[in-house]
Amino acid sequence: MRSALTTLLALLLAACGEKAAGPDMAAILAEKPPATLAAYGLFSDLAAREPAKGVVAYDLVNPLFSDHAAKHRLVFVPDGETARYEDDEVFDFPVGTVLIKTFAFAPDMRQPSVDERYRETRLLIHKPDGWAAFPYVWNAEETEARYSPAGAWLDLTFTDPQGNAIQTEYRVPNQNQCKTCHQLGDAIAPIGPKARNLNHEGPYGHAQLADWSARGILSGLPDAPPTVPDSSDETASLEDRARAYLDVNCAHCHRLEGSASNSGLFLGWSVDEPTKLGIGKHPTAAGRGSGNAVFVIEPGRPDRSILTYRMDSTEAGIAMPELGRSLIDADGVALVRAWIAGMETAASGD
């Protein structure tokens, strides 16, 4: 008995020692996820503010709207390996890659870094048999984030970026809901890290894609990778801004390989057929989500377009996206409304 105890203590101490050394490939590639975020060794502190060596912060030109959450993104690519550049899709990341996204709220989101509190951290890990998603929920002290496959509902109170007082039930998605948005054909895949959506100055103050190349985590970067405008950049065209917004907020499901494939409504950046984009398109399975409108987009008539009706709702069964938000993105709605309002009406045939 005594020797067993000694062995156990030795093992535990050894485990501690490993963690301090940086990302733990055994934990990253394990079949079952560790119970705590700390066990991966992706951070050098318990509060996950200090990325471990090899863990790189990044951000996106246009983030998905998630109830005004601030998001802190990091990527870990195993030592000596690189993500292979792709022009249109997410980069081809090697097995062992971890994409880390922490969702945080401050009491006043006009000053998001003041008294910011971490609420959840989602990991997307490229396991040997494909990507898998793992939600971790932070405790109140922000000392520990625990694996939470069933997700959680969090009561949140904060002031939004427009200065409105918000009280909401924030949904930490369960593991299957992670998959719903990240579905790509029969597998799951990351959504955000595409060339066009990374192609700007990143958090380290450098051109982000070139910086990834220089750090040795990206290979095959061409001279002129594609770009999309920041959807809030008023110097860009309304159409490009709206399309960039829909690309990031809708097209992960609304594409031929996505969870909403059966709708026939495809909202990706490179879609160019008007009907596929919803212009003059009847709904397929909208039910009361149609809001009594006949077309997904009726040119010139945002009030009679299903797209804006569903963006402007928080009600289950109507709201789009179906997952990932319980608030309305008023800026996004205004942008898409303005785009539809500016369309030529002749195409609708009325």
Site for other proteins in 2-21 (CB under 8 A): 5, 8-9, 12-13, 15-16, 19
CB nearer other proteins, residue 132 or residue 238: 132
Distances 210 to 114, 125, 350 between C-alpha atoms, Å = 31, 23, 49
Strands (DSSP E) found in 185-235: 187-188, 218-219
Considering CB under 8 A, how many residues would be counted as binding other proteins? 75
Residue 25 in the binding site for other proteins (CB under 8 A): no
Q: Which stretch binds other proteins (CB under 8 A): 97-105, 204-212, 228-236, 293-301?
A: 293-301
Residue 315 in the binding site for other proteins (CB under 8 A): yes
Tell me 152's DSSP state.
E
226, 199 in Cβ contact below 8 A? yes
Closest approach, Cβ 16 to other proteins, in A, equals: 4
In single-letter form, the type of residue at position 249 comes to N
Site for other proteins in 198-227 (CB under 8 A): none
Task: Bin 264: left if φ > 0, else alpha if -120 < ψ < 50, else beta.
Answer: left
* Phi/psi at 3 (5° precision): -70, -35
Locate all alpha helices (DSSP H) within 225-329, ordered by sequence: 238-249, 306-311
Residue 197 in the binding site for other proteins (CB under 8 A): no
Residue 327 in the binding site for other proteins (CB under 8 A): no
Residue 109 in the binding site for other proteins (CB under 8 A): no
**Residue 325, C-beta contacts closer than 8 angstroms, at least 6 positions apart:** 65, 66, 67, 314, 319
Joined together, the tokens standing for residue 193 give 């890290």
Distance of CA 52 to the CA centre of its chain: 22
- Terminal CA-CA length for the chain: 85
Q: Single out the residue of 169, 201, 239, 303 in contact with other proteins (rule: CB under 8 A).
A: 169
CB nearer other proteins, residue 58 or residue 134: 134
Upstream peptide bond of 321 is cis (omega within 30 degrees of 0): yes
Q: Which stretch binds other proteins (CB under 8 A): 93-101, 198-206, 237-245, 290-298?
A: 290-298
Site for other proteins in 31-50 (CB under 8 A): 34-36, 38-39, 46
CB nearer other proteins, residue 179 or residue 215: 179
Q: Which stretch binds other proteins (CB under 8 A): 92-100, 235-243, 310-318, 338-346?
A: 310-318
Q: Single out the residue of 159, 219, 261, 313 in contact with other proteins (rule: CB under 8 A).
A: 261
